[in-house]
Structure 1
């Protein structure tokens, strides 16, 4: 379900949204073939090409497995699809960071860059609130400490 409803894949829309020096496949307004990305969790710059597509992955700020554990398994399929494809819940990040984060909530993982932890916690909370998704007490405590 593409978020922009423009005929492009959600991944390509997100890469175009968050990347710099974005280049599309010749003759296509959709397919991103290269870009520069500042990883939002580390602040490091990634030079990315489609030939090494896995170097940049799309992170679910509130991981799908976290959503499932917190009750999304009882939601209608349409709601699960909305949260899974919501651009508020999606960020292109480096493969290593996405793997390190896994399905953790804020009590189990925070971005390595301390400067963006408040923004990450706020975004996690925004997604949870938007979909009526509870968060654990431990995650709530950790999120509140990030914005002091």
Structure 2
């Protein structure tokens, strides 16, 4: 299997557990399994991937955001495939997104990744993962729609259990290179997009799926950027 194909598989793996299937024709049909996935999502001509998502003029940054509002740590209560297995969400995502893995049992998790390789979709780099040292920090789990951004775009009004579910939803999580994750921080698409432009299609489609699934809004400049990124998708 080529490295390029592995990158597509990692990307489409995320789409297999989306929080909601969009009703827009030609976009976001329930995804194939990782084994079946062959390429990026397709978009039908004239389809707006942001249809039904409220667009607001600007992101109004709420300085009342605090990480604990989304739960203090990773959980093992997701109902997504592989959840409730003794492994917290971080370990599940490492297991989902890394390849060439070895495993170690820790606490209640029998399949924690000990070593592995990440084909980082954000940078197109190959990143080694080794649990328990600085190399482990080179692979981090990114919230595709950042928590602080979600807070500003509607999550402030959510009940605590919904925010905790959002923070642990595999549809909104991706293992990426640590440096890229730090560069992104809590930026909206108008401010930050993956350096790997070949990933823009998947990033835009998945970002829109999460917004739609959770009823979040998007700022106008980011809407323009996501639509432009979706224009790089293959035509259905």
Deviation at 1:47, TM superposition (A): 1.1
**d(CA) in 2 for partners of 1:17 and 1:26?**
16
TM-score (norm 2): 0.60
User: After the TM superposition, which residues 1-148 of structure 1 pair with which residues of structure 2 at under 5 Å, given as runs?
Assistant: 1-2=75-76, 3=78, 4-25=83-104, 29-50=110-131, 51-52=133-134, 53-148=136-231
Unaligned 5+ runs, structure 2 = 1-74, 232-236
Moved over 3 A (4+): none
> How many residues of Structure 1 are paired with residues of Structure 2 in the alignment?
148
Q: Which runs of 5+ in 1 are unaligned?
A: none
| Distance in 2 separating the partners of 1:25 and 1:68 | 35
Structure of greater Rg: 2
Q: Secondary structure at the match of 1:30?
A: strand
Higher relative contact order (CA closer than 8 Å, sequence separation 6+)? 2
**1:26 Cα offset (Å):** 5.6
Q: Is contact 2:204–2:229 with CA below 8 Å preserved after alignment?
A: yes
What is aligned with 2:25? Answer: none
Aligned 8 A contact 2:95 2:112 in 1:
no
Measure the CA separation in 2 of the matches of 1:26 and 1:87.
Answer: 21
Residue 30 (structure 1) shift? 2.5
Q: Residues 37 and 47 of structure 1 are in contact (CA less than 8 Å); yes or no, is this contact kept in structure 2?
A: yes
Cα distance in 2 for partners of 1:57, 1:75 equals 26
Q: Distance in 1 between matches of 2:202 and 2:96?
A: 18
TM-superposed deviation, 1:88: 0.7
- Give the TM-score normalised by the residue count of structure 1: 0.95
Alpha-carbon deviation of 1:74? 1.0
CA distance in 1: counterparts of 2:89 and 2:200, whole angstroms: 25
